[in-house]
Structure 1
C-alpha cells in the first residue's frame, strides 16, 4: 500500500467562497491531506461568477483545474481521473451534478476507490426521500463509501437505508492558519453579527433568531453579512454589509461582542451538523450564540464554550445580559476547545485512515 495517493476531486470551487459555503471545508481538508503526502487535483466548473470572485489564488497544496460550463468540458475532466487512486464527487457542484455522479462510477478503474462526499447530506437525503425517481438513489450503493460534512448517526442510518455500503461523517473544523484572532475593525463593530447567504431553508430561522432579537433590542446594534439580503425588510438597528470575503472573516468574528450561528432547516432537523463558520468563529476567539440543534455538546460545552438559544426570545435574553467580559471568556474557551479537538488536521487523519484501510483491505482480498 503506497502512502502517497493521487486524488481527483470534483467539487463546486476550491478558490472561491462566492455562493459556495463549502469552500473553507474543502480547503481545510485538502490542505491537510496534502501534508499527509497525498496529491489532490480539484476540478471545478466556471459557474456562478465564482472565478470572478476568487478569495485565493491557486494554492500550492492542490492542483486546480477550472473547466468550462458545458458537458463536453465536464467529460474531458472526467477522463483525467483515470490515473487517480481515489475519485471523489462532492455534492452541490452546481452544474452537471447528475452527469458527474454517474460518470465517476461508469469510468471507475479496477484499482480506484470512488467516493461521494456529501457536503449537504440532510438536503440530499430529503430530496431522495421525496422523489422515488431521483437518479442518485440507484447510484448510492455503487460508491465505495459516502463521506458527509456532518449529520451523525441520523445521516449514517438514512444513507444505510438507501443502500450505502459505508457512510462516515467527516465534520467541519478549524484551519488555525486561516482563522485566528486579529485586531478589531470599526466596520464590523456591533453587539451581534450574523454571516450567511440568503437561502430558502434558512430565511425563516434568520427572521426568528436574528431579526426578532434585533426588533426586541432597539438600543443594541446588529450587522448581517452574506449574499442576497439587500432587499430584505429589517429593523433599523440592523446594518446589511453585503458579501464578506474570507480574508475579512477573522475581523468579522473578532470585532462584535457576539456572533450568531443559524442553521439551515434541514441541518438543524438532522443535528450533528455544525456549520464551518462555527469553527472559524471559535478559532478567532468569538463568543458564539447558536440556535439549538442535537449534538452541540459533542463539539462544545454549552454555557462555557458556546451559548445556545432555542428561539429569538432566548437570543434576546442572552444578549440583554451578556457582558463584554463574559463574551471574551466564552470566546477564549471556544478557541481552546477547537485547537485541542477540532482542527482540519484531526479530520484529515480520519479520512487518511479510511482511505488506507480500504486499500489494505482490497490488497489483502486480491492476494
Structure 2
C-alpha cells in the first residue's frame, strides 16, 4: 500500500518556537521510508523563514504558500487526488482551509491535533484553526492525547473516528552519543507561561540549592526578566541536529508539562521520547497516564517538589541512573519510534477507508456540494 499523502501543517521547515517540526519530520521520514509519497504544505511566514533548520528532504516534498487562496489555486489537484489529506493544529486560517479540503478531497481527510489538550480546553471558546462544527466533517481525528480522550472526541464532538497518534522519536536521528556530562540537569523547550512554574520548581529551585552543580535550559522566547541562577546556562535555540549532543551532556533531563496537558493527561511530549531515545534518564512532573508511556521508577523518574529532584541528583547511584536510561531507551525502541507511528497511521487510513466504503454502499449518490472559494 503506497499512499499519496498531503499534509498541511504549522511548520516542518523550522523548529524555532514549536515542537511541530520535529514531530512532522519524524513521521514523514518514516512514511517516506515505507514507500509513501508525501507533500507538506506550509504557510511562508517571517518568523519561521528566519529560523529554518530543515535540510532539503531527500524523499519527500515541501511546498511553501503565501496565503490561503494559494491552497486551492496551486495545490487543488494534488489535494483532490490524494489518498490521505491531513491538516494539523495551529495552521493559519485552518478553519477555512479545512472547510475547503473536506469538501474537495476525494481521499480520506484527517485532522492531526498536535495540541489536543489545548484544543479541547479552548474549542468551545473559539479557536483560529478548528471549530467544533468541523470535527464531524473529517474522516479521522488524530489525537496527541490517548487514554479516554479519543472516545471523548467521538462522543462529545461527533468525530466518526478518533484515534491516538502520539509523537515519536526518529531513532535514526536521536541516538546515544559519547560525551562528558556537563550538566546535572537540563531542559529543552520553548517558553510557556503555564509551564514556567514547573521549570521554576523542578529545575531553577534545585539549581539554587545545589550551587556547585551546573544546569542548562535551551529554548526560545523566554522573557528577559526571568532571574536565572548563576549556575544555569541559557541557550537561546538549538536546532534538532544538536539535540542528541545536548542530551548526552546531561546526567538527567527534565520533562516539564503544560497545564492543559497535565489536566487532560495521557499527553506525552516529543522531548520525552527524544531524550529517552538518546539514553538520557528523564525526570518528569506527574500527570494522569504517564505510567502508560513509561514505567515510573524503572523507566522514568517522577518528581513533585524541588526536594524530590535534589534527592535524585544528589543521591542516586550511577548504576541505577544508567539502568533507568537503558530501560527507557528500550521502551522507546519497542513502542515509540516514528516507524511505529507510520504503521499506526497506515492502519487508521485502512480503517477509515473501509468505513467510508461501507457507508457509501448504504447511501444513494449525492450531487456534488458547492463551496465558497477561500
The reply to whether TM is greater than 0.5 is yes
The whole-number CA distance in structure 2 between the counterparts of 1:194 and 1:155 is 30
Q: CA deviation at 1:136?
A: 0.6
- Corresponding residue to 1:107 among 78, 99, 104: 104
State the partner residue of 1:221. Answer: 214
Q: Any unmatched runs of 5+ in structure 1?
A: none
State the partner residue of 1:250. Answer: 244
Farther-moved stretch of structure 1 (206-215 vs 126-135):
126-135
Aligned residues: 359
State the partner residue of 2:149. Answer: 154
User: What is the RMSD computed on CA atoms of the aligned residues?
Assistant: 2.2
The whole-number CA distance in structure 1 between the counterparts of 2:207 and 2:150 is 34
Distance 1:134 1:41, change over 3 A: closer
Q: CA deviation at 1:77?
A: 4.4
Q: CA deviation at 1:106?
A: 2.9
The one-character-per-residue Cα deviations of 1:18-52 (angstroms, maximum 9, x if unpaired) are 12211121112122222332211100111243233
State the partner residue of 2:321. Answer: 327
Runs of at least 4 residues off by over 4 Å = 131-135, 364-367
Farther-moved stretch of structure 1 (209-218 vs 19-28):
209-218
State the partner residue of 1:97. Answer: 94
**Secondary structure, in 3 states, of the residue corresponding to 1:23?**
helix
State the partner residue of 1:137. Answer: 132
The one-character-per-residue Cα deviations of 1:119-144 (angstroms, maximum 9, x if unpaired) are 00011111113449996111111111
State the partner residue of 1:309. Answer: 303
The one-character-per-residue Cα deviations of 1:261-280 (angstroms, maximum 9, x if unpaired) are 10111111111111111111
- Corresponding residue to 2:188 among 185, 195, 217: 195
**Secondary structure, in 3 states, of the residue corresponding to 1:234?**
coil
Q: CA deviation at 1:159?
A: 5.0
Q: TM-score if structure 1 supplies the norm length?
A: 0.91
Q: CA deviation at 1:59?
A: 1.1
Distance 1:257 1:168, change over 3 A: same
Question: Does the alignment pair 1:71 with 2:68?
Answer: yes
The whole-number CA distance in structure 2 between the counterparts of 1:96 and 1:131 is 13
CA contact (8 A) 1:115 1:146 kept: yes
State the partner residue of 2:171. Answer: 176
Q: Any unmatched runs of 5+ in structure 2?
A: 362-374
State the partner residue of 1:61. Answer: 59
Distance 1:264 1:329, change over 3 A: same
The whole-number CA distance in structure 1 between the counterparts of 2:2 and 2:240 is 30
The whole-number CA distance in structure 2 between the counterparts of 1:349 and 1:61 is 18
The whole-number CA distance in structure 1 between the counterparts of 2:187 and 2:129 is 34
